[in-house]
Chain A
Amino acid sequence: MSIHKGRGFASINYPIGMNLGGDPSQALVHSNPDGKFAVALSSIDLGQGMKQVTRQIAAETLGVPVEDVYVDTADSDTGPHCMGSFASRGTHRVGNAVIQAAKEARSVMLEAAAEELEVNAADLETDGKGNIFVRGAPSRSISTGEACGAAQFKHGKTVSGRGIFLIPMSDVDPETGEMTPVSCYAHAALVVDIEVDDETGEVDVKQMNSAYEVGRALNPRMVEQQLVGGAWMGMSHALWETTEPYYPDRTHGPTDFNQYLMPGPGDIAPHDIAILERPAPDGPYGGKGPGEMCANPVLPAVANAVFNAVGVRIDELPITPEKVLRGIKANGGAQPQGQW
């Protein structure tokens, strides 16, 4: 009886946004008289960081510091329509709606600044620190707060903007499946190193190494959080989780977290991640959605690693110790496949 090392590989791509499109999202942006902005959405923050990513997108587009923007989500009386937070669509769809709304508000702010500075608005730039200045003459400047105040109290203009993003719905050909499913894809590849105990059938995930391509990491810390947590969920799907352990038999269904198995703190694996950024042409600042796809490569990579370790193909998830042991037994013992 011994421990066998194995390693497995998988690579995937993932479609961003609702398949076939037809899933609009809207945003409203407006400023207080002192140039502090609010973004109103009906989108949902599930913990993935919807509020923060749209906040940074709004600040970048408006040309103001991120502290000058707050995002309010999900009051149907104030937030305009959004399809919802699913299908890796939040950043891509809502982010684009926020850009459109913020551009409109920015143009009003710059028009007011232009009037105050007695220049053409087309000659103005923002420094992202709260100042609007004349291109090539940085001493001629006005703060974003002053410009917004002037717009509202002197010129009678609302510093606000409306945004919507829609990829019109695609048809599907019944005969060939021809369709335009989405506009961009995220990518990932992952190597997992495991150990399999041929006495118990237990699989211990030792290490993950991965590369994830996310378009652009709009907030690198939040991308990291998504990828780390998502890959652990993939591990959990591979080795632990199901509501029907003997599917399609419905018996032994778990009803609480004592019975529904998931990895505990001692089970989760170290994960070294590389993030690649190939901007999506129609993504907000190139961003795609890293949220869903980060789990997907882990499931097959673990299955492939089990084969590499003991020569057993487990083609039914989850890869429980019972299945591994039965497979080893059927093969007449562990059959390590050698290291890559």
Chain B
Amino acid sequence: MSVEFRKELFANERDDNLNEIGKGTQRQDALGHVTGRSPYFDDHLFEGLLQIRCVRSPHHHARIRSVDYSQAENMPGVVRIIRPEDVPNNFNTLLSLLNFGRDDEPLLSSKKVSYIGEPVLAIVAGTDRQARDAVAAVRVEWEVLPHVLDVEEALKPDAPVVNEVYPNNTFDYHDKYDHQKLRYGDVETAFSQADRIVEGRYQMSPIEQAPVETNGAIAAPETNDRFVCYTSTQALFFSLGTAAKLLNVSSNRLHFIGGTVGGGFGGKVDSLVEPMAILACMLTGKPCRFVWDRQEEMQVGAPRGGERWYLKDGVMNDGRIIARQFTGYFDSGAYTRLSSYAIIKGTAHLPGPYHIPNVKADVFCVYTNRTPATAMRGFGVTGVDFAIESQMDKIAHEVGMNPVEFRILNAYRDGDMKAHRREAKNCALIECVQVAAEKANWPIRDEFKQASSMVGGGGERAKIPHTVTDEDGKIGERRAGRAGAGQTRTIAPSTPAPAPAAYTPPPPSAPPAPAPQPAAGQPAYAHPAAAPAYQPAAPHAPPPVTPAVAPAPPPAPAAPAPASETSTPSARPVNRPGYSRFASNSGFRRR
């Protein structure tokens, strides 16, 4: 285990003679942490503190016919039953604080449940045991409904509706589409010109944030008609704002105290425990504590959601990727929480840290009958990075290249245009690749050792290509069985490029042709679209029959763009009224 600082790299961009910055000073809170004296939310105990537990759904999907808590309410220690109608404003979506998306989730559900563990009632009692016993005594009559757990199944016309606010089982993007689009260049033409097509299907299962301290909050009455809330939140004002909205109280009647948290990793943003603890406190006038147990943390608390990605790459025999297409499905579970946002973040991340002149992506936020997903370390990016980098290894193998040299060949560099149409700056991928290879004694040739993020980018690589767009996937069409086959059109480049941008490979200009590899005679390559979960090792195809001359430049657009569509992308009008957009209340906009 060692750590070294490679100060010689980018040294001319840094002033290393600072007083405090760059020093490994001990944390101001280290002594409290190592002596066990740092106060966390759960260290604020009050006399007569009441405990809260929830009655939760045992079904993936069910209508609630009736809830009978008559026995529970008379059990020892039970102070209060909290019903859905006790929540002043029982409908929310987390990103309403950013004016993004529709309210779609109650704090307590009254009509139906859409995942195992969905809360329908909360019980406030003197002890945790009393609360649990009372929960067990509640009788709910369920009408079990058909459910859907697979993201692609959920898009089919006959799939059950998970979330009535989004009846197509997909989040609505820009009031127009059932997915987020990324369109840059013309992947179809590039695929037809590529030496090879490499496809893959990748999946990440849900992952628990697993903080040592579970989600929890303690709320108590403060003087002057205020409420104090000690909380494990990762986002103090996010939780405060959410509580103020659900409870319909002024934000300055809530005094939130947190700041030292026993691990979050993204799982403490959802703000479910704070409003419940404060509501219990308001209804009882007593201090109340709502803390998830480990089972709730793992199976009811939102995990990092499952993601499924399909990748298709058009690759030249010299290793250059000329087109990359993604179809992504984020499993949001039963409600939106933050997945809709992660999809835009993930889309912006495509096609990874590489310069690829034609990129297309369709990314879906899909509702299924499982625990809602939320943020976790690398939110929106970890899953697709797994897909991209697994795919990169496959491609390197297919074309017979050293996978490290293959990364450097395709790496983005300062001045390159990215697929979201902004110029790359401050790049350092190549240097990281070189240093990691050097540390691991992974051999790379001199011309790859000499490559630099600061050289070889820009120029032709900065030009936005003619782009094919389409109107596939308008809201509701897919579920009505009418998806696909929309009209395509092209958008002219925004930079003054007289002709479609020709792809200019960076130095090192052209690595040698793929060397034969020692694994011949393996089973035929299984096409990933139809592949079983475990694909046999890819064979090394015989040298391709395409001529060994420089590969064809990326495609020209299918047809000249009409004059009316030749305005620059940044000047195109944006007309997206309604709720479902990113727009700040203050009117700030940035292009």
A280: chain B residues at CB < 8 Å are 426
Instruction: Let me know if A317 and B375 touch, CB within 8 A.
Output: no
Fill in one digit per residue for B400-414: 1 if any A CB lies within 8 Å of its CB, else 0: 001110010001100
Determine if A37 is an interface residue (Cβ-Cβ < 8 Å).
Answer: no
CB-CB < 8 A to A118: which residues of B? none
Query: Is there an interface contact between A243 and B443, defined as CB atoms closer than 8 Å?
Result: no
Instruction: Kindly identify which residue among A13, A77, A300 contacts B390, using a CB–CB cutoff of 8 Å.
Output: A300
**Of B177, B390, B582, which is within 8 A of A170 by CB?**
B582
- Of chain A, the residue at the smallest CB distance from B301 is A243
Say if the beta carbon of B523 comes within 8 Å of chain A: yes
> Is A44 within 8 A of B261, CB to CB?
yes
Question: Do the beta carbons of B569 and A277 come within 8 Å of each other?
Answer: no
Q: Is the pair B393, A191 in contact by a Cβ cutoff of 8 Å?
A: no
Provide the bound-state CA to CA distance between A336 and B264, in Å: 39
Q: Does A220 contact B (CB under 8 A)?
A: yes
Known A9-B403, A12-B389: A169·B352 in contact at CB below 8 Å: no
Q: Any chain B CB within 8 A of the CB of A330?
A: yes
Chain B residues, CB < 8 A from A278: 9-10, 13, 426, 428, 431
Question: Interface residues of B toward A: which range?
Answer: 35 or more
Known: A66-B25, A218-B22, A331-B536. A187 touches B1 (CB 8 A): no
**Bound-complex Cα distance A70 to B98 (A):** 31
Given A167-B590, A174-B174, A304-B403, also A209-B261 (CB < 8 A): no
- Measured CA separation A274–B2 after assembly (Å): 8
Question: Residues of B contacting A256 with CB < 8 Å?
Answer: 294-295, 298
Cross-chain contact B28 with A51 (CB below 8 angstroms): yes
A6 to chain B, nearest CB (A): 11
Chain A stretch 289-332: residues in CB contact (< 8 A) with chain B: 291-293, 295-297, 299-301, 303-304, 307, 311-318, 323, 326-327, 330-331
Contact B432 A187 (CB under 8 A): yes
B205–A213 CB distance below 8 A: no
Contact present for A176 and B469 (CB under 8 Å): yes
Check A75 against B262 for contact (C-beta < 8 Å).
no
Are A253 and B237 also in contact (CB < 8 A) when A169-B589, A275-B3 are?
no
B431 contact from A190, A209, A211, A279, Cβ within 8 A: A211
> Distance in Å from the Cβ of A132 to the closest Cβ of chain B?
14
**Least CB separation from A336: chain B residue:** B519
For chain A, give the interface size range: 35 or more
| B319 CB within 8 Å of chain A | no
Whether B537 and A49, one on each chain, are in contact in the complex, defined by CB atoms closer than 8 angstroms, is: no
Structural contact, B149 and A250, CB atoms closer than 8 A: yes
Let me know if B450 is at the binding interface, CB within 8 A. no
B382 and A295 within 8 A (CB):
yes
Contact A312 B184, beta carbon cutoff 8 Å: no
A187 and B18 form a contact (CB under 8 A) = no
Pairwise interchain contact B402-A318, C-beta atoms closer than 8 A = no
- Indicate if the CB atoms of A174 and B177 lie closer than 8 Å: yes
Alpha-carbon gap, A244 to B368, bound state (A): 14
Docked CA distance A237–B205 (Å): 10
Q: A167-B590, A213-B431, A340-B443 are in contact. Are A60 and B20 (CB under 8 A)?
A: yes
Interchain CB contact under 8 A, A242 and B205: yes
Contact of A84 among B236, B260, B361, B392 (CB under 8 A): B236
**How many Å lie between the Cα of A11 and that of B204 in the bound state?**
18
Distance from B553 Cβ to chain A, minimum over Cβ atoms (Å): 21
A262, CB-defined interface residue at 8 Å: yes
Is A149 engaged at the interface, CB distance under 8 Å to the other chain?
no
Interface presence of A168 (CB below 8 A):
yes
Whether B403 contacts A175 by the Cβ 8 Å rule is no
Q: CB distance A210 to B237 under 8 Å?
A: no
**Residues of the B chain whose Cβ atoms lie less than 8 Å from the Cβ of A133:** none
A57 is an interface residue with CB less than 8 A from chain B: yes
Cβ A191 vs Cβ B442 within 8 A: yes
Q: Which residues of A contact B403 (CB under 8 A)?
A: 9, 304, 340
B183, B258, B432, B536 — which one has the most chain A CB atoms within 10 A of its CB?
B432
Given A243-B205, A340-B443, 18 further pairs, Cβ under 8 A: A13-B353, A22-B584, A46-B265, A56-B20, A66-B25, A86-B269, A174-B174, A189-B436, A191-B439, A247-B203, A250-B60, A260-B208, A278-B13, A295-B377, A304-B393, A313-B534, A313-B537, A335-B522
Interface pairs A-B: 8 shortest CB-CB: A84-B235, A74-B259, A128-B19, A300-B389, A221-B24, A181-B348, A177-B182, A19-B345
List residues of A whose CB falls within 8 A of some B CB: 7-15, 19-22, 42-47, 49, 51-52, 55-57, 59-60, 63, 65-66, 70-77, 79, 81-87, 128-129, 166-182, 184-185, 187-191, 193, 209-213, 216-222, 224, 227-228, 230, 233, 237, 241-245, 247-250, 253-257, 260, 262, 270-281, 285-286, 291-293, 295-297, 299-301, 303-304, 307, 311-318, 323, 326-327, 330-331, 335, 337-338, 340
